[in-house]
């Protein structure tokens, strides 16, 4: 299917089009191309790969976020379990923000997992308008990695979670804490410095997880947002 439209006299323009995939379209990998040509005949073409699947083939292995919690360890080293959980609202309504030197302490569980996969915890300035939906989409020049886990060779359907069996206040469900204001992220073993356009600042941040099953090329994600202060 080809869409054509002529735009003149504008410095910037946005096009938004929908199209239905024919029921008889064969499954497989497709090239999705966008070509822009100016009035002088100069053109630019971008190509992206798109997989066309039949959902019936993947019902047993389609990943989903089955649990998601975000809490904090405060400046005095005290942890709590009363900030955010699953429904998109902070239970600690008196202090829903994070301050410099407090730590994000998060947990996520992904269901319907089989084969190989990778999962990132990400902290991203809202001003970037960047909420990647697959691991391939992550722009690491904008994203601070708080958590990174992988799995391989799962031969049966199971859940996958960020727990590192961290013993904090006799609580074992959460992953490693990440301090607000840290010099580097947790993109281990090759961590990235938190500098440049993603350097710490006061403002609204997205926080969440993105997971991609590399065996079946399926992904899921979850984001919330909160304020960071103290800089």
Q: If pLDDT is split at 50, 70 and 90, which confidence band does 124 have?
A: very high
My answer on whether omega of the bond before 189 falls inside 30° of 0, hence cis, is yes
Q: Which stretches of the chain are DSSP H helices?
A: none
Instruction: Tell me the C-alpha distance between 224 and 208, whole Å.
Output: 6
Q: If pLDDT is split at 50, 70 and 90, which confidence band does 167 have?
A: low
| Domains of the chain, earliest start first | 60-229 (2.70.50)
pLDDT digits (tens, 9 = 90+) for 34-63: 888 887 888 999 998 888 877 777 677 888
Share of the chain above pLDDT 70, in %: 85
Q: Is the pLDDT of residue 109 over 80?
A: yes
Instruction: Tell me the C-alpha distance between 179 and 158, whole Å.
Output: 30
- Distances from the Cα of 64 to the Cα of 38, 81, 161, 196, angstroms: 42, 23, 12, 33
Rounded mean pLDDT of 173-198?
A: 90
pLDDT digits (tens, 9 = 90+) for 203-221: 999 999 999 999 988 899 9
Instruction: Tell me the C-alpha distance between 64 and 117, whole Å.
Output: 13
Instruction: Tell me the C-alpha distance between 207 and 217, whole Å.
Output: 23
Instruction: Tell me the C-alpha distance between 72 and 206, whole Å.
Output: 15
Q: Is the pLDDT of residue 118 over 90?
A: yes
pLDDT at 168: 52
Share of the chain above pLDDT 90, in %: 37
């Amino acid at each position: 299917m080809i869409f054509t439209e002529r735009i003149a006299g504008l410095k910037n323009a946005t096009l938004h089009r929908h199209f239905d995939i024919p029921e008889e379209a064969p499954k497989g990998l497709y090239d999705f191309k966008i070509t822009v040509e100016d009035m002088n005949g100069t053109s630019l073409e971008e190509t992206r790969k798109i997989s066309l699947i039949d959902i019936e083939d993947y019902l047993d292995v389609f990943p989903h976020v089955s649990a998601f919690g975000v809490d904090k360890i405060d400046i005095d080293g005290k942890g709590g379990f009363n900030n955010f959980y699953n429904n998109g609202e902070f239970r600690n309504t008196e202090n829903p923000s994070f301050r410099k030197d407090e730590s994000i302490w998060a947990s996520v569980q992904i269901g319907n997992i089989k084969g190989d996969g990778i999962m990132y915890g990400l902290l991203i300035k809202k001003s970037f308008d960047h909420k990647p939906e697959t691991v391939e989409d992550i722009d690491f020049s904008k994203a601070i990695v708080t958590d990174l886990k992988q799995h391989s060779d799962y031969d049966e359907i199971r859940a996958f979670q960020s727990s590192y069996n961290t013993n904090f206040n006799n609580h074992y469900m959460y992953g490693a804490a990440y301090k607000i204001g840290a010099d580097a992220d947790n993109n281990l073993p090759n961590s990235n410095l938190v500098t440049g356009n993603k350097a710490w600042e006061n403002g609204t941040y997205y926080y969440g997880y993105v997971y991609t099953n590399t065996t079946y090329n399926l992904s899921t994600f979850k984001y919330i947002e909160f304020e960071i202060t103290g800089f």
